[in-house]
Amino acid sequence: MARYAIGDIQGCMASLDRLLGLIDFRVHGDQLWLVGDLVNRGPRSLDVLRWARDLGSNVTCVLGNHDFHLLARAAGAAGPKRLDTLDEILAAPDCDRLIDWLRHRPLIHVDKTHVLVHAGLHPRWTVADAEARAAEIERELRGPSWRAFLTQINGPPPRWNDRLGGGDRWRAILAYLIRARTLRADGRVEPDFDGRPADAPTGCVPWFAFKTPAWVSHTVIFGHWAALGLDIGPHHVGLDTGCVWGKSLTAIRLDDRMVFQVKAVESAS
């Protein structure tokens, strides 16, 4: 059995098919870890969502910001954005089942050596801290009031501290788990930057570059940052290689860090 982690798919089913062929994915033996952002901007979000759901226990998928946006649209908590490609999902006969499957996905997955998350972690969170913070969001998202919850997570997050409550707390947690790229010197997420690390605002560094982070007991597998590209360090692996922007889709075999890439078939307009 092999375990592969795959970067942001974002509705790029044709590119995903190529990558699965390259790694010779065996549905009855191999395991896939998906970094989130299954959907949006690519042309076949519905196909990707159905594919992931139908894999059952062969796939572990964490939620990304585009997945949250789909849930918010389904809940009536958000309207469409200019580059959305979600209407086919929302009009599908199995939409409700797909949305229920999606909102039961975790925000973080942890084993003995790895953490799977869409964007990043607070530098002072241990892995156990991150699991506990993610669980707070997961409980709300899986509960009967999930639609109301999604109306409370829009807007800028406050600076994280453990005394926050309600919507402020949820926004602060999600700022790291599904949106972080660079952080300011005090650990706050820089919300508007999505470029290369070398172009980050003065004083900002990649979230994984803070000195002596508390989560360093594990290697963090993440996506979300297309301008970063494939980035492999001792304790982090960034896998968003901009498939939906016409670049490539990337997988890494977790047991030996062998990298597999295919050139994107599709790109967003």
Q: Which pLDDT does position 266 carry in this prediction?
A: 87
> Residue 121 pLDDT more than 50?
yes
> Residue 81 pLDDT more than 70?
yes
Regarding pTM above 0.95, the answer is yes
CA proximity to 179, closest of 203, 199, 154? 154
Average pLDDT on 233-250 reads 97
CA proximity to 135, closest of 161, 186, 101, 169? 169
Domain layout of the chain by residue ranges: 3-263
Residues 6+ apart with CB under 8 A from 125: 133, 176, 214, 215
Q: What is the pLDDT of residues 8-62, one digit of tens each?
A: 999 999 999 999 999 999 998 999 999 999 999 999 999 999 999 999 999 999 9
Average pLDDT on 77-81 reads 96
Average pLDDT on 103-112 reads 98
Helix 13-22 with 45-54: angle, nearest 10 deg: 40
Q: What is the pLDDT of residues 82-97, one digit of tens each?
A: 999 999 999 999 999 9
Q: Which pLDDT does position 38 carry in this prediction?
A: 98
> Residue 269 pLDDT more than 80?
no
> Residue 193 pLDDT more than 60?
yes
How many other C-beta atoms are found inside a 10 Å radius of the C-beta of residue 25? Answer: 20
Pairing assessment for the beta strands 231-232 and 219-222 based on DSSP bridges: unpaired
Q: Which pLDDT does position 24 carry in this prediction?
A: 96
In the CATH scheme, what is the code of domain 3-263? 3.60.21.10
